[in-house]
């Protein structure tokens, strides 16, 4: 059995200052998750997402397959070290997907049955689902309409109304960090844990500090549409050894960390482990993340400039924040008609998310489902995401802009 890539010389480019736009790479259709992927254009369509795996990752996967260590092997341990280092945390625990990362992190911070956790109603349903899967109660506070992330002022309102809140789960939506300075202050003041849902924000920063390193734990997804992918996969980042050890045990049938494959189970746990193939892809993708994020930011800057004079809201990047544009999301009252025009021009779009979580049928029985959360509801009615992925060509970007401009000029 060979352990490829135990190399210590793999380094992650933290400066993210050079590199170009990745070439388009044909992608296959995937079942839908938080976002769907359409087939890469064979018919002039500009797709909403296009994962780019590359030859290096394929070679690494081949080595893993030849090694015979397919589950939770050395590639996964290396990926954990490298991803933790990238985020600036001491520890990282790889998982099977972003939802299991959130679940494991909540177990890691010690969530108990019935504990209430404030989170965003304007997110993929997995954010709140993870709280329920861990036995907790999601409590929704509204989002800020400019940033689409938890509004700390509304979190304060909820904290003033209830005395059962034990934690916060901010979501760094679309690639922009939530207001972690203010939320961390509230957490400190009210003695709350913070689990960041960073599933859409690999590499996003506030004043140079990366998401995943602000809270007690941070959680990432490596679903194919994300800024980097492992096919399916997730990871928990943390500076707390106790959180990392509990999460690592929880994702591995409750085994004691470091006991290898022993049949001693000190806790209840799941099999939420990452495969070695996913770990190998993750290491290669992490090396390319700076290049991917740069390309996303270049595409976003182009749209910002080209769409500035139109009657729509383009994304906000507050001072000191570095947005990584998992989505480039505009807001307009004319959303559905604009999406139809773009479709006619061969441009795919996405609505993330048309139904806020508190209005999902699966949330009818959850206590704060009846709450009025006007910004989340307004966002759900007006947001539209345009293709911003790294594989967009110059022509793709122009097609998107021309289609949006055509729509507003023909009115």
Ligand X SMILES: Cc1ncc(COP(=O)(O)O)c(C=O)c1O
Q: Which is nearer to ligand X, 200 or 252 (CB)?
A: 200
Q: Which is nearer to ligand X, 41 or 99 (CB)?
A: 99
Buried b (16+ CB within 10 A) or exposed e, 240-267: beebbbbbbbbbbbbbeeeeeeeeeeee
For residue 300 the two structure tokens come to 């976003």
| Closest approach of ligand X to the CB of residue 127, in Å | 5
Q: Which is nearer to ligand X, 216 or 396 (CB)?
A: 216
Beta-carbon contacts of residue 264 (< 8 Å; ≥ 6 apart): 255, 256
| Closest approach of ligand X to the CB of residue 179, in Å | 16
Q: Which is nearer to ligand X, 33 or 291 (CB)?
A: 33
SS3 120: coil
Beta-carbon contacts of residue 69 (< 8 Å; ≥ 6 apart): 1, 3, 276
| Closest approach of ligand X to the CB of residue 226, in Å | 7
* Cis, peptide link before residue 353, omega less than 30° from 0: yes
**CA 292 to CA 281: how far, in whole Å?**
15
SS3 371: coil
| Closest approach of ligand X to the CB of residue 406, in Å | 31
Q: Which is nearer to ligand X, 198 or 404 (CB)?
A: 198
In the complex, which residue's CB is closest to ligand X?
34
Q: Which is nearer to ligand X, 221 or 252 (CB)?
A: 221
| Closest approach of ligand X to the CB of residue 258, in Å | 26
Summarize as ranges the residues that interact with ligand X (CB under 6 A): 33-34, 97-99, 123-124, 126-127, 171, 197, 199-200, 221, 223, 234
| Closest approach of ligand X to the CB of residue 159, in Å | 22
**CA 204 to CA 321: how far, in whole Å?**
8
33 alpha-carbon distance from chain centroid: 12
């Amino acid at each position: 059995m060979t352990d490829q890539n135990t190399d210590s010389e793999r380094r992650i480019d933290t400066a993210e200052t050079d590199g170009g736009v990745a070439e388009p790479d044909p992608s296959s259709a995937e079942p839908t998750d938080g976002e769907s992927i359409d087939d890469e254009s064979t018919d002039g369509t500009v797709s909403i997402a296009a994962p780019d795996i590359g030859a290096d990752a394929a070679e690494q996967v081949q080595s893993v397959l030849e090694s015979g260590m397919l589950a939770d092997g050395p590639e996964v341990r290396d990926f954990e070290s490298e991803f933790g280092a990238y985020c600036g945390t001491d520890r990282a625990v790889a998982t099977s997907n972003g939802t299991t990362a959130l679940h494991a992190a909540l177990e890691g911070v010690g969530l108990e049955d019935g504990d209430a956790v404030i989170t965003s109603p304007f997110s993929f349903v997995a954010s709140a689902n993870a709280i329920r899967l861990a036995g907790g109660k999601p409590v929704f506070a509204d989002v800020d309409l400019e940033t689409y992330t938890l509004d700390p002022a509304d979190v304060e309102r909820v904290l003033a109304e209830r005395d059962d809140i034990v934690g916060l789960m901010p979501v760094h939506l679309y690639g922009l960090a939530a207001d972690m300075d203010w939320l961390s202050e509230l957490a400190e003041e009210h003695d709350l844990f913070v689990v960041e849902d960073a599933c859409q924000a690999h590499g996003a920063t506030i004043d140079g500090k990366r998401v995943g390193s602000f809270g007690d734990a941070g959680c990432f997804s490596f679903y194919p549409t994300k800024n980097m992918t492992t096919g399916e996969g997730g990871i928990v980042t943390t500076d707390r050894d106790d959180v990392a050890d509990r999460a690592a045990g929880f994702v591995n049938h409750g085994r004691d960390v470091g006991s290898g494959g022993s049949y001693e189970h000190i806790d209840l746990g799941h099999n939420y482990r990452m495969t070695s193939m996913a770990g190998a892809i993750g290491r290669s993708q992490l090396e390319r993340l700076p290049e991917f994020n740069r390309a996303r930011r270049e595409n976003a800057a182009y749209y910002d400039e080209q769409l500035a004079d139109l009657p729509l809201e383009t994304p906000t990047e507050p001072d000191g924040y570095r947005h990584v544009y998992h989505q480039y999301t505009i807001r307009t009252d004319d959303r559905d008609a604009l999406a139809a025009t773009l479709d006619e021009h061969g441009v795919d779009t996405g609505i993330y998310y048309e139904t806020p979580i508190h209005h999902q049928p699966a949330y009818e029985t959850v206590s704060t489902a009846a709450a009025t959360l006007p910004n989340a509801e307004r966002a759900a009615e007006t947001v539209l995401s345009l293709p911003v992925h790294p594989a967009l060509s110059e022509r793709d970007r122009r097609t998107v802009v021309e289609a949006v401009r055509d729509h507003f000029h023909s009115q």
